[in-house]
Amino acid sequence: MTTPETIPYRPNRVPFVQRWGIRATALLAGLLARRSPQQIHRVLTVVRRGARPATLEEVTRVRAAVVAASLGCAGREACLRRSLTVTLFCRLRGTWATWCVGPRTVPPFAAHAWVEAEGVPVGENVPEGYFQKLISVGPPR
């Protein structure tokens, strides 16, 4: 049995220069996503230096632009690449969104990667406590 899925891909809603910046960042995020969790954590810890914490509004806008401009980040199974792309693109703008990885707290088990701002998962539409953080890289102190 198959489940139909529509991917919200609207690249023309994102300005041309920003669209290509997002695509380049998504390419970098795709390469980073192939590394081990420890290596990803190490890289993000270095990259976040000097950034200020991102606001919920900023991260929401960046996530919407990433999903609109990059088909590889828009799919349901693309959570790791999407979360890394959002985090790295926020960093290019001088801010940092908290990058998180962990399982669902309700059966069936599934691992997930997401971004948070101001302690709120961005664009996930799930109740509080739905995911359990195992690894996170927040803004520098």
Q: Report domain extents, the chain.
A: 15-137
Which pLDDT does position 75 carry in this prediction? Answer: 84
Provide the 3-class DSSP secondary structure of residue 127: coil
Mind listing the pLDDT tens digit of every residue in the chain (141 residues)? 555 555 665 666 888 889 999 999 999 999 999 999 999 999 999 999 999 999 999 999 999 999 999 988 988 889 999 999 999 999 999 999 999 999 999 888 999 999 999 999 999 988 888 999 999 999 998
What DSSP character marks residue 101? E
Maximum distance among all Cα pairs of the chain, rounded to whole angstroms: 49
Residue labelled with tokens 């990259």: 47
